[in-house]
Amino acid sequence: MVLGFACLAGCAARRLARFIAPLALLAGCAGVESGQELVRAQRLNAQAWEQFERGRYAEGLARGREALAARERLLPAGHVDVDESLHTVAALARWQGRYAEAEALYRRSLALREATAGRDSAKVADTLNHLALLKMATARYAEAEALFGRSLAIREQVWGARHRLVAQTLLNLARLHVAQARYAEAEALLAKARAMWEETLGPRHADVAYAYHYGGRLAQIRGRYEEAERLYQRAAEIRQRALGGQHPGVAETLAALAELAAERGQYADADRLARQALAIQEQALGSEHPAVAETLVGFADLQQTRARYREAIDLYRRAHRIQELSLGPEHPAVALTTLGLAHVHRSLGRFSEAEDGYGRSRLGLEAALGPEHPDVASADAGLAQLYWDQARFYLAEELQRRVVALRERALGSDHPDVALGLVSLARSYAVHERFQDAEALIRRAIAMTERIMGSRHPNMAVCAQALGDLYRDQGRHDLAESWSRRALAIREQAYAPAHPEVATSLHGLARLEIARERHDRAEPLLAEAFRIRDGSLGARHPLVGRTLIEMATLQRTLGRPAEAEVTLRRALPIYEGDGAELSPSHPDHADALEELARVHRALGRQAEADEAQARAAVFRTMR
């Protein structure tokens, strides 16, 4: 939520009463019919904000446009009511993702205000702030920064350096710097804004909660999870006291706490907090409000992480329906929800549905935000991972190159998302045995991550694990162990001991021990990875299946084929049968059947081995 925006809506009804009397006088001069039409336009403008507050953005925008058309027809171009309507329609268009329309209207308002109130007026500063937020939404960060800077200078001049509107601009600048990965600058601005609000409004004012909330978000991004929880909790306490426990602002912070808990692997807490946030929003805003849809998407993300795919699909689809109705089918939020659904289909092995979803998401994001927006790169990254899962490595590499290039253009060459893109591209290089090129990319990602996020951030574990895996594939086992253990140490410090990311490191170390033919050391590592994944993600999760397959392979290698068969029998229901979540065409299903064929041969059951091998071949062709 943007500071000051709700205030515009809240003041709409008061404006209506204030303007009815002047409009009645105008009616005597311009004719009764024109005066009545202007009164109606004022009511329509107020209704536009009322519809916004109810989450009915399309209806609000229609009323706002009708009011604007009437005022432009009946009033002089520079009239204050025309300016009010320009701002109303621009704001509602922005919230509907109609950014080109919104920008054109804000530009008209800016020109009008500069001509009537002066270039350094408070009204001009307000319009500059809204324009900057629009630029930030469309990833035009340099333009946004210039506009925020001009707005800040005017507000400091008009209101003084300690005014609450100055603090608001500082907070918006901090949010911009977070998007640009300029975290130290963002942190300083948030601290300054918070101090100003506490000084001018008091430490328990609702506006102060914004600084704590976004401070929590920044700490979470930087991997400082305990600090993030403390800041979010403080924001929630302030909002509960100032606004009441059932206010949507409280729900916003509870949803953020749920996301934080999920990131830390505290899934039961995440589930509870998400449900609590959703209940508050549905009670306060109604079940069809866009804010409810946003929380549903976060809840769906959580269920997807836990491999509760049916629940995730239901939640995404419900959010998608609300967004289409309230925001319109062309809003970028609709495309992002489609992207989440595509991720679920990929996880399930429903590759055709996933590819269609990634394509539709990309088209929607590009149409709404432009081809250079980072969210477009997110859709490409998902499709690249799909190609990887299908062993279409050259197509994956081509897309990964595009992702890195787009992120560098949009975010700059020194950004965490660029670093993660480099790691993904390095994996494709390694498949084609371009080990030197892959190492150079991962080394660059490591240097970038260490510089921006610090040496103990979870992203550093991703980079370290990738380098360890690369060295393992080259047979450089000592280096592989050093980097893999570094990844494990970071994850054990950042997360709870039973976090799935810890299991990822243990699994990587087990594979290294297998490569070194130290099977006795690999087995307990795989067993611990399985225990963590089974306990935290559930028995039907794809990672649980992958771990069981590799455990069975190790058991067979150690001369225990009967035990391996039992292990595989635990894995196969993840991919087949009535209770299976994953598609039979999932690549791990064929791996499990091929391993089962080898186990049958080891047990002297050739006919069963041939049958399992034939089934594996069928499912391989389905990829």
Residues in the chain: 623
Query: Is the pLDDT assigned to residue 23 strictly greater than 70?
Result: no
Find the mean pLDDT for residues 304-309: 87
d(CA 174, CA 167): 10
Is residue 20's pLDDT more than 70?
no
What is the number of other CB atoms lying within 10 angstroms of the CB of residue 241? Answer: 13
CB under 8 Å to 418, separation ≥6 — which residues?
404, 407, 408, 411, 412, 448
Report the pLDDT averaged over residues 279-300. Answer: 93
Average pLDDT over residues 386-395: 90
Paired tokens of 364: 């929607």
Tokens of 593: 């059947």
Task: Grade residue 28 by pLDDT with cuts at 50, 70 and 90.
Answer: very low
- pLDDT for 12 beyond 80: no
Cα dihedral: 253, 257, 258, 259 (round 10): 100
Task: Look at residue 11 in the predicted model and tell me its pLDDT.
Answer: 43
Q: What pLDDT is attached to residue 585?
A: 81
Instruction: Classify residue 286: in a domain, yes or no.
Output: no
SS3 assignment for 84-126: HHHHHHHHHHHHCCCHHHHHHHHHHHHHHHHHHCCCCCHHHHH
Residue 140, in any domain of the structure = no
615 within some domain: yes
In the chain, the amino acid numbered 352 is S
Residue 600 domain-assigned (yes or no): yes
Residue 22 has pLDDT above 80, yes or no: no
Amino acid in position 178: V
- Whether 516 maps to a domain, the answer reads no
> How far is it, in rounded angstroms, from Cα 284 to Cα 247?
7
Residue 555 resides in a domain? yes
Contacts of 515 (CB under 8 A, 6+ apart): 472, 475, 477, 480
- pLDDT above 50 for 535: yes
Give the integer Cα–Cα distance in Å for 102 and 88: 10
Q: What is the dihedral of CA 181, 183, 187, 188, to 10 degrees?
A: -100
Q: What is the pLDDT of residue 9?
A: 38
Residue 180 tokens, joined: 């640009």
Question: In this predicted model, what pLDDT tens digit does every residue of 244-269 receive, in sequence order?
Answer: 999 999 999 999 999 999 999 899 99
Give the tens place of pLDDT for each residue, 492-522. Answer: 998 888 899 999 999 999 999 999 999 999 9
Tell me the residue type at 210. Y
Residue among 594, 583, 518 at smallest CA distance from 552? 594
- Contact (CB, 8 A) for 422 and 397: no
**Rounded Cα distance, 229 and 252, in Å:** 14
What stretch of H or E contains 589? helix 587-602
Which residue type occupies 139? Answer: A
Question: Using only C-alpha atoms, what is the Rg of the chain?
Answer: 28
- pLDDT-derived band at 1, boundaries 50, 70, 90: very low
| Exposure on the CB side of residue 218, measured as CA atoms within 13 A | 27
Q: Map residue 586 onto helix, strand or coil.
A: coil
Backbone phi and psi for residue 349, each to the nearest 5 degrees, phi listed first: 80, 15
The 10s digit of each residue's pLDDT in 93-152 is 998 888 999 999 999 999 999 999 999 999 999 999 999 999 999 999 999 999 999 999
Confidence band, pLDDT 50/70/90 cuts, at residue 58: confident
pLDDT of residue 7: 41
Q: Tell me the pTM.
A: 0.84
DSSP-based three-state secondary structure for 411: helix
pLDDT (tens digit per residue) in 165-184: 999 999 999 999 999 999 99
Question: How far is Cα 359 from Cα 357, in angstroms, rounded to an integer?
Answer: 5
| 414 pLDDT higher than 80 | yes
pLDDT at residue 335 in the model: 96
Q: Is 248 part of any domain?
A: no
CA–CA separation, 60 and 63 (whole Å):
5
Q: Mean of the per-residue pLDDT values for the chain?
A: 91
pLDDT of amino acid 26: 43
Where residue 10 falls among pLDDT bands split at 50, 70, 90?
very low
Q: What is the pLDDT of residue 24?
A: 39
Asked if residue 491 lies in contact with residue 502, where contact means CB atoms within 8 angstroms, the answer is yes
Q: Are 95 and 65 in contact (CB under 8 A)?
A: no
Mean per-residue pLDDT, 391-418: 94
pLDDT tens per residue across span 355-370: 999 999 999 999 999 9
In a domain, 415, yes or no: no
Rounded-to-integer distance, Cα 422 and Cα 507, Å: 22
pLDDT of residue 8: 36
User: pLDDT, tens digit, for every residue of 457-478?
Assistant: 999 999 999 999 999 999 999 9
Would the pLDDT of 204 be above 60? yes
Q: How many domains does one find in the chain?
A: 1
CATH number at residue 596: 1.25.40.10
Domain of 587? 539-623
Q: Is the pLDDT of residue 14 over 70?
A: no
Q: Which amino acid is at 604?
A: G
Each residue of 37-58: b (16+ CB within 10 Å) or e?
Answer: bbbebbbbbbbbbebbeebbbe
Rounded CA separation 318/435 (Å): 45
Amino acid residing at 70: A
Kindly report the backbone phi and psi dihedral angles of residue 328, in degrees, each rounded to the nearest multiple of 5, phi listed first.
Answer: 100, 150
